Amino acid sequence: MSARAENLLGRRLALLAILLIFLLPVAWLLTTAWKQSSQIFSIPPTLYFTPSLDQFRSAFAFFDIWSLVKSSLIISVGSAVLSLLLGVPAGYALARSRSRLAVGTAYFFLAIRMIPAVAALIPFYLLMRDIGLLGTWWAVILINTMLNCAFVTWMMFSYFRALPPDMEEAALTDGCTQFGAFWRVAVPSARSGMIASALFCIMFAWNDFLFAMFLTRTDAKPISVALLTAYGTQDITWGTLGALAHFSTIPIVLMALVLNRYFVQGATNGVQ
């Protein structure tokens, strides 16, 4: 074996080892759901067991899983749509602004995404209570939109900034209005940026626990909150928790796998 091939093999093995360390908690969580309750805490832990659907049965018995997933979907997709509707035009306006304050304003929007969730939660709770949206999907959609549209604004700002204005100017001379140039030329050109933004919005909202915990009631509860209730129904039902975690993890992992190039684009966009 040549030195070069050996080198490559060594690197692959090192990568594999690191990967295993990262995947271990996930594997642990998932295998928990496929074991019998008696095997979950067996010492030493076993990796060889006969798969069982018992934990899924009890998960379905205790929880209306489809309704939980539906809530999660409505909240994450709803807030992503709203965030894009507000954030894309805002980012475009900032990117094309000739004001010296434009860049600072864009970073101010990024800073909004960084405020501690709890600090936003308290006034938002009172606000939602007063306008009667507390306990509904809308409350969670709106608070996620508030934070995520600031993020989308910043992200689309950097996307549109990287886009030469010539194409929009060509559209203007071709007969478009300012809005027409934005809608027909700038928006399609920034498609991948919009997909990346939407993915991040969906991910943030899907994984959100705190807002949903305080702002929803049973009928609007998403799966992230339900995971905690599995923790306290009778005792700590780890197996049920593991089964439920499947439904919370798999959709977002699938999305990341299928659309990973947009995630990478989104994550590296500011660096270019």
Partner 1 sequence: MAEIVFDKVSKVYEGGGHAAAVRELDLTIRDGEFVVLVGPSGCGKSTALRMIAGLEQITSGELRIGGTVANNLAPRERDIAMVFQSYALYPHLSVRDNMGFGLKVRGAPAAEIDRKVAETAALLELTDFLDRKPAKLSGGQRQRVAMGRALVRAPNAFLMDEPLSNLDARLRGQMRAEIARLQKMSAVTTVYVTHDQVEAMTMGDRVAVMSRGTIQQVDAPRALYDRPRNLFVASFIGTPPINLLRGTVVAEAGRPALKLGPWSLDLTGHRSARSLEPGRQVIAGIRPEAFRLAADGLPAVAAFIEDLGSTLLLHLESPEAEVVPTSAAERDAELDTVRPRLRVVVDGTAKTAVGERLRLACDPAALHLFDPATGEAL
Q: Which residues bind partner 1 (CB under 8 A)?
A: 98, 100, 164, 166-167, 169-177, 180, 184-185, 188-189, 191
In 119-245, beta strands by DSSP E: none
Minimal distance, residue 172 CB to partner 1, in Å: 4
Nearer to partner 1, 198 or 212 (CB): 198
Q: N- to C-terminal Cα distance for the chain?
A: 39
Where do we find the tokens 């496929």?
A: 34
Q: Output 191 or 217, the one with its CB closest to partner 1.
A: 191
Q: Supply φ then ψ for residue 132, to 5 degrees.
A: 80, 20
CA distance readout (Å), 96 to 6, 166, 169, 171, 213: 52, 12, 12, 15, 39
Between 142 and 171, name the residue whose CB sits nearer to partner 1: 171
Structure tokens at 118: 């709890």
Checking 176-182 for CB contacts under 8 A at 24+ apart, the result is 182/89, 182/92
Q: Is 114 helix (H, G, I), strand (E, B) or coil?
A: helix
- Which of residues 31 and 189 has its CB atom nearest to partner 1 in the complex? 189
Burial class (CB in 10 A: 0-12, 13-18, 19+), 209: middle
Look up residue 220 and give its DSSP letter: G
Provide, rounded to whole angstroms, the least separation between the CB of residue 158 and partner 1.
Answer: 18
Under 8 Å CB-to-CB from 233, ≥6 apart: which residues? 62, 240
In this complex, which beta carbon is closest to partner 1, that of residue 51 or of residue 188?
188
Q: How far is the CB of 98 from partner 1 (least distance, A)?
A: 7
Greatest CA separation found in the chain? 74
| Cβ proximity to partner 1, 33 vs 190, nearer residue | 190
Query: At closest approach, how far in Å is the CB of 202 from partner 1?
Result: 24
Q: Distance between CA 39 and CA 20 in Å, rounded?
A: 22
Closest to partner 1 by CB, 4 or 98: 98
Q: Which two tokens stand for residue 223?
A: 């799966």
Give min distance, CB of 220 to partner 1, in A: 38
Min dist CB 194 to partner 1, Å, is 12
Q: How far is 84 from 38, CA to CA, in rounded Å?
A: 48
- What's the min distance (Å) between Cβ of 199 and partner 1? 20
Contact between residue 199 and residue 262 where contact means Cβ atoms under 8 Å apart: yes
